[in-house]
Amino acid sequence: MTDDELTMLEQICAEANPNEWIDFTGNGRSHRTHIGYAANRDDGTVVNVALFETNANAKRSDILMAVYSHNYLPLLLAEIHRLREELNAAGQAMFDATGYILPSAAA
């Protein structure tokens, strides 16, 4: 993965809704699943705020992919940076700026 691709994904994450996403069913009148987040009202009750309503034919795995991608992608990107910095600090640069393995690291 290139540095530009990492930067693009980080920008998308920064601009997305910052709340942890969840999936929940509609209000009982629908069999559709919503993707959104839980919010606290002033009176302390928790309500689910829908960002998206999925198609009734949506597979559970597709819904979870969207939810977990939103929640965990920032952590994965941070881990990529941490590992690259760790390798570079150890003098074992393995990737160039385009994300490709350097010839000396492939040997």
- Please count the helices (runs of H) and the strands (runs of E) in the chain: 3, 3
What is the model's pLDDT at position 104? 63
So where are the chain's domains? 3-101
**CA-based nearest residue to 54, from 69, 39, 41, 64:** 64
Res 57: pLDDT: 80
Phi and psi at 89, nearest 5°, equal: -65, -30
What count of residues does the chain have? 107
- Residue ranges, the chain, pLDDT below 70: 26-31, 92-107
Residue 19 and residue 33 in contact, taking contact as beta carbons nearer than 8 Å:
no
